[in-house]
């Protein structure tokens, strides 16, 4: 992937602004759903879904159809085969961290990524309860900005490997024995537990050094964060250190082993 890529050129400042507005509108759709109207239920895969997930999904998919015409959208809340992705596609989790959202925690996000040739090249993560948006485009850096208001975006960057111990972002809901063992082998002095794609944001803004995910997850959970971490100077690798490549697109994309880390 180079700056000459047509899709990368298309993700210009105007489109970045419009996609940022889109995650802000999806955030408003989530916050507009009253707690007694969540209609929480389990999907076939035994994961929860609410009316807020569906409201955000409707806003995002309508917006992407306008902003990225002709590019398929893969969303967690859309039936498999709704659109057949090509080499370039958008991937969406309209409400990542539904368990945290239902529990009343603020650690949930909205994730949108543009993927081409197996690489997430642009990512947008909104954290409605925190009032923040994180965004990044390959080769152009990453930023954090307020979800509301007119404050200027703040450039963010992964920090360099510290000389001593490391801080690791870990899943609040999915920390497994393999990941704990992996962390025990490293000089990790701090574990920062949080839900959703916020773990990627912690790395991108320099608050954590790595995020190991050794249990199965899905591409809509990780692609936006992957793009933002990479834009902030970090790496997303396999446990052996190879660059991570997105699998062939489908509506059941799985990413089984990945380690998000900074450049040493």
Q: Check: CB of residue 191 under 8 Å from CB of residue 201.
A: no
Query: What mean pLDDT do residues 98-106 have?
Result: 93
Q: Which CATH class is domain 6-156?
A: alpha beta
**Cα–Cα dist 94/96, whole Å:** 6
**pLDDT exceeds cutoff 50 at 134:** yes
**pLDDT exceeds cutoff 70 at 249:** no
Q: Check: CB of residue 232 under 8 Å from CB of residue 158.
A: yes
Return the domain boundaries, the chain: 6-156, 166-262
The pLDDT value recorded for residue 84 is 60
**pLDDT exceeds cutoff 90 at 143:** yes
Buried b vs exposed e over 230-242: b needs ≥16 C-beta within 10 Å? bbbbbbbeeeeee
Task: Mention every residue, 6+ apart, whose C-beta is less than 8 A from residue 22.
Answer: 59, 60, 63, 64, 67, 112, 124
- What would the pLDDT profile of 208-223 be if each residue is shown by its tens digit? 999 998 887 888 999 9
User: Is this structure's pTM higher than 0.85?
Assistant: yes
Domain 166-262 CATH assignment equals 3.40.640.10: no
The pLDDT value recorded for residue 80 is 60
Cross-strand partners of 136: 123, 142
**pLDDT exceeds cutoff 70 at 17:** yes
């Amino acid at each position: 992937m180079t700056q000459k890529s047509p899709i990368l050129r298309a993700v210009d400042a105007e489109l970045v602004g419009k996609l940022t507005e889109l995650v802000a509108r999806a955030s408003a759709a989530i916050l507009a759903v009253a707690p007694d109207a969540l209609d929480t239920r389990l999907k076939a895969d035994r994961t929860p879904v609410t009316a807020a997930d569906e409201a955000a999904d409707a806003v995002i998919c309508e917006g992407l159809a306008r902003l990225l015409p002709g590019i398929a959208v893969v969303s967690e809340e859309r039936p498999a085969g709704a659109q057949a992705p090509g080499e370039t596609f958008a991937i969406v989790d309209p409400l990542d961290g539904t368990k945290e959202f239902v529990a009343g925690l603020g650690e949930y996000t909205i994730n949108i990524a543009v993927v081409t040739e197996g690489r997430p090249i642009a990512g947008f993560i909104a954290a409605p309860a925190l009032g923040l948006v994180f965004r990044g485009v390959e080769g152009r850096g990453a930023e954090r900005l307020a979800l509301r208001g007119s404050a200027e975006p703040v450039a963010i960057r992964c920090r360099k490997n510290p000389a001593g111990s490391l801080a690791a972002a870990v899943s609040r809901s999915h920390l497994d024995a393999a990941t704990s063992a992996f962390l025990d082998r490293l000089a990790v002095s701090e574990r920062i537990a949080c839900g959703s794609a916020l773990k990627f944001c912690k790395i991108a803004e320099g608050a954590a050094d790595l995020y190991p995910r050794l249990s199965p997850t899905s591409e809509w959970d990780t692609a936006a964060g992957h793009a933002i971490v990479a834009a902030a100077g970090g790496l997303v690798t396999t446990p052996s250190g190879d660059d991570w490549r997105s699998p062939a697109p489908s509506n059941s994309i799985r990413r089984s082993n990945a380690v998000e880390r900074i450049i040493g």
